[in-house]
Amino acid sequence: MYPYAGRNSILSEGMSVWLAVLAVCGIVFFYIASGNSDKISRAVRCGCYDRERIRRGQWWRLLTVGFTHIQPWHIAMNLLALYNLRSLEKFFGHAWFAVILFGSVIGGSILEYAMSRIRYSVGLSGGLYGLMFGYFLILLTYRSTSGLRSIAMTLVLNLFINFMPGIAWQAHVGGAITGMVLTEVFLLLH
């Protein structure tokens, strides 16, 4: 429904949000992966979700968690998902794409904080769930059946990920809810 315009469109339209997020996540990941110290300690220095530090007032971690990844498979999956959702930036525009992505990271972190006692968490998944569920809402709103089957299958497959050990499913659910709410606000305003 929202095809990517081609390789040169990034250059002609300036820096895109998805590309900037990809770059920051990559830089942070390589910092965390390098060095001799514990990766969790390095992730904490980079802004991962740390329940105790958030409790003491470091609320910015509700957002910066999205830029931190420890495992190579985790960053690869998240950045591949972000790459596949990049066409939504054309639909929403740079500002609203950023609001939905980052707002969903924050919304996911807030639900994780409210429902989980886990100390540390990393990843962009809350934001990605927000974009995926926002996309699903757009397809439903415009009654577009062409992409509905594909995104529905993606959502079902991602639901199974939530049952794997060590997954902060609260961040996924919170991100999905936030993404749908912000997408609905966007649709009402446009």
SS3 assignment, position 49: strand
CATH number at residue 141: 1.20.1540.10
Cβ-Cβ contacts under 8 Å for 131 (sequence gap 6 or more): 85, 88, 100, 101, 104, 179
Q: Total domain count for the chain?
A: 1
**154-163 per-position pLDDT tens digit:** 778 777 777 7
Query: Is 84 a member of any domain?
Result: yes
Query: Is 1 a member of any domain?
Result: no
Q: Is the predicted pLDDT of residue 133 greater than 60, yes or no?
A: yes
pLDDT of residue 161: 77
Query: Is 3 a member of any domain?
Result: no
Contact 63, 116 (CB under 8 A): no
Element (H, E) at 70: none
Distance, in Å, from the CA atom of 15 to the CA atom of 101, rounded to the nearest integer, reads 16
pLDDT of residue 5: 40
**1-42 per-position pLDDT tens digit:** 333 344 334 434 567 999 999 999 999 999 999 977 799 999
Q: What pLDDT band is residue 65 in, cutting at 50, 70 and 90?
A: very high
pLDDT of residue 8: 39
Q: Is the predicted pLDDT of residue 114 greater than 60, yes or no?
A: yes
